[in-house]
Amino acid sequence: LKQPIKVTVTGAAGNIGYAFVFFAGQGRLFGQDQPIDLTLLELPNSKRPMMGTVMELDDCAYPLLSNIRTTTSLDEAFVGCQVAVLVGAKPRGPGMERKDLLSENGKIFKAQGEAIDRYADRDCKVLVVGNPANTNCLIVQRYAPSIPKQNFTAMTRLDQNRADSILASKIGVHSRQIRNLIIWGNHSATQVPDASQGIIMNYPQAGMVTAARGAVSNDKWLTTEFVETVAKRGAAIIQMREKSSAASAASAACDHIHDWFIGTQSGQIVSMAVISDGSYGVPEGLCFSYPVTCQNGRWQIVQGLQWDELTKQRIAITTKELVEERDLALQSLAANTK
């Protein structure tokens, strides 16, 4: 049997964390032949639900979970960690402004970055789920300078999966037939769902591939209603469930890690927020969602795609928002250390 991969999950007793650890136990991250050593980190006041979650994990007797540890200490959570799934974050409270949210989370993710820098495996790969995910990821990366920059990612896979499901139901096919829809920019309402590269496999019949643009009767829908429905899907779910997306977010986190480690299929593009190298004119160092392909545990940005005028304008808006988030978060961290 292979050596277990050490995975740390923060916020493990929360809504998403609770779903994620069971998916991980079932082999959704690295396949059915790869054992996992799981470490769960929670705040001290959520220690009991975390312990309860572990009791349930024990009762599942998942063959792939070789070891489960719990901790409330940042110094213990990341020792030897090879994959860090950062879900725990400060939620937006009543009357809290965006600035306050960025500042509170800045502190959390700075401390986690420092702990990863000090204790984690030198090739530790990081997925940030906790919001504001892109900017939290940027902060973690800045405070873990000894880990390669390309190891820091934030999750926009849920937005991609939502886009797949919304287009699939419009056309009347299964989501798994949809490929290469792209999410650019921030995991927020300014995200830019882009169907220009989208294809539908085995449509209209087995063996055929059709461009998304050719499959909907009115392709203006793809640049208007579709974009809005994807961006507002999270809010629509809260309205119905009276809670935010949890299992679908956990499932998307598994998809993200799986494709990063195992690789994308030939011709398949997925979306991941990564630390920008300046591709597509995005300021270097921002955590920006790009179309990527993955091979041998590495992602690569798909280059050379063209944007139409509307997409260009939308991307300028999401980029501006990310620059503002970065500046606010870094300013408040600098003020805190004075």
Task: Indicate which residues carry an active-site annotation.
Answer: 187
CA distance linking residue 7 with residue 36, whole number of Å: 7
Choice from 29, 101, 108, 286 touching ligand NAI (CB under 6 A): 108
Choice from 52, 80, 91, 297 touching ligand NAI (CB under 6 A): 91
Which helix (H) or strand (E) covers residue 164, if one does? helix 157-171
Q: Is 54 in the site for ligand NAI (CB under 6 A)?
A: no
Rg (CA), the chain: 20
Q: Is 256 in the site for ligand NAI (CB under 6 A)?
A: no
Q: Per the structure block, which two tokens stand in for 139?
A: 């902060």
Q: Is 40 in the site for ligand NAI (CB under 6 A)?
A: no
Choice from 5, 249, 322, 333 touching ligand NAI (CB under 6 A): 249
Find the shortest distance in angstroms from Cβ 338 to ligand NAI.
Answer: 23
**CA distances for 280 relative to 262, 290, 316, angstroms:** 26, 9, 11
- Tokens 């995910």 appear where? 133
- Strand spans (E) along the chain: 5-10, 36-41, 65-71, 83-86, 125-128, 152-154, 178-179, 182-184, 192-194, 199-201, 209-211, 270-275, 287-295, 298-301
* Binding-residue pattern over the window 194 to 233 for ligand NAI, x denoting contact by CB under 6 A: ----------------------------------------
CA distance linking residue 41 with residue 125, whole number of Å: 17
Q: Is 80 in the site for ligand NAI (CB under 6 A)?
A: no
Please identify, among the stretches 10-18, 172-180, 217-225, 293-301, the one whose residues bind ligand NAI according to the rule CB under 6 A.
10-18
Q: Is 43 in the site for ligand NAI (CB under 6 A)?
A: yes
Q: Is 14 in the site for ligand NAI (CB under 6 A)?
A: yes
CA distance linking residue 208 with residue 219, whole number of Å: 20
Q: Is 11 in the site for ligand NAI (CB under 6 A)?
A: yes
Nearest 5 degrees, angle CA 298-CA 302-CA 308?
Answer: 155
| 8 A C-beta contact, residue 12 and residue 41 | yes
Please identify, among the stretches 62-70, 82-90, 191-199, 218-226, the one whose residues bind ligand NAI according to the rule CB under 6 A.
82-90
Q: Per the structure block, which two tokens stand in for 282?
A: 């995005």
- Per rule CB under 6 A, count of chain residues that contact ligand NAI: 28
Choice from 28, 162, 179, 187 touching ligand NAI (CB under 6 A): 187
Find the shortest distance in angstroms from Cβ 324 to ligand NAI.
Answer: 19
| 8 A C-beta contact, residue 163 and residue 181 | yes
> For ligand NAI, which is the closer residue by CB, 108 or 294?
108
Count CB-CB contacts under 10 A for residue 298: 15
Please identify, among the stretches 118-126, 242-250, 293-301, 323-331, the one whose residues bind ligand NAI according to the rule CB under 6 A.
242-250
> For ligand NAI, which is the closer residue by CB, 171 or 237?
237
Buried b (16+ CB within 10 A) or exposed e, 111-148: ebbebbbebbbeebbbbbbbbbbbbbbbbbbbbbeebe
| 8 A C-beta contact, residue 13 and residue 21 | no
> For ligand NAI, which is the closer residue by CB, 201 or 247?
247
Choice from 7, 38, 127, 129 touching ligand NAI (CB under 6 A): 129
Find the shortest distance in angstroms from Cβ 26 to ligand NAI.
Answer: 19
Count CB-CB contacts under 10 A for residue 238: 12
Choice from 106, 113, 130, 185 touching ligand NAI (CB under 6 A): 130
Residues that bind ligand NAI (CB under 6 A): 10-11, 13-17, 41-43, 46, 87-91, 108, 129-131, 133, 155, 158, 187, 244-246, 249
